[in-house]
Amino acid sequence: MLGDKIKIDRILNRQIIVHDYRIEDSKYGNGSSKCLYLQIELNGIRNVVFTGSAVLIDLIQQVPKSEFPFTSTIIKDNERFEFT
């Protein structure tokens, strides 16, 4: 994946283009946790965002690969992240 790794807080409530993703076992936790790596573009610059958000992992897996790239905004609703 291209670009610097950035924290998800830097892109919250901002329109981004999601180019690709991958899901791996998290380096943290008990081994059953997953980590989502998102290849995103913000203001013409590509970055990689990573999160353990189960909601985002579930939602991104529902997007057919034929619909990439797509434009979205990640919001924080209470304590969970969501695509809008």
Nearest C-alpha neighbor of 81 from the set 3, 1, 16: 16
The predicted-structure confidence for 25-82, as pLDDT tens digits, reads as follows 988 766 678 999 999 999 999 999 999 999 999 999 999 999 999 999 999 988 889 9
User: For the domain that residue 18 is a member of, what is the CATH number?
Assistant: 2.40.50
Domain count, the chain: 1
Q: pTM above the 0.95 mark? A: no
Helix/strand/coil for 77: strand
Containing structural domain, residue 31: 4-83
Which ranges of 1-84 does DSSP label H, i.e. alpha helix?
A: 54-61
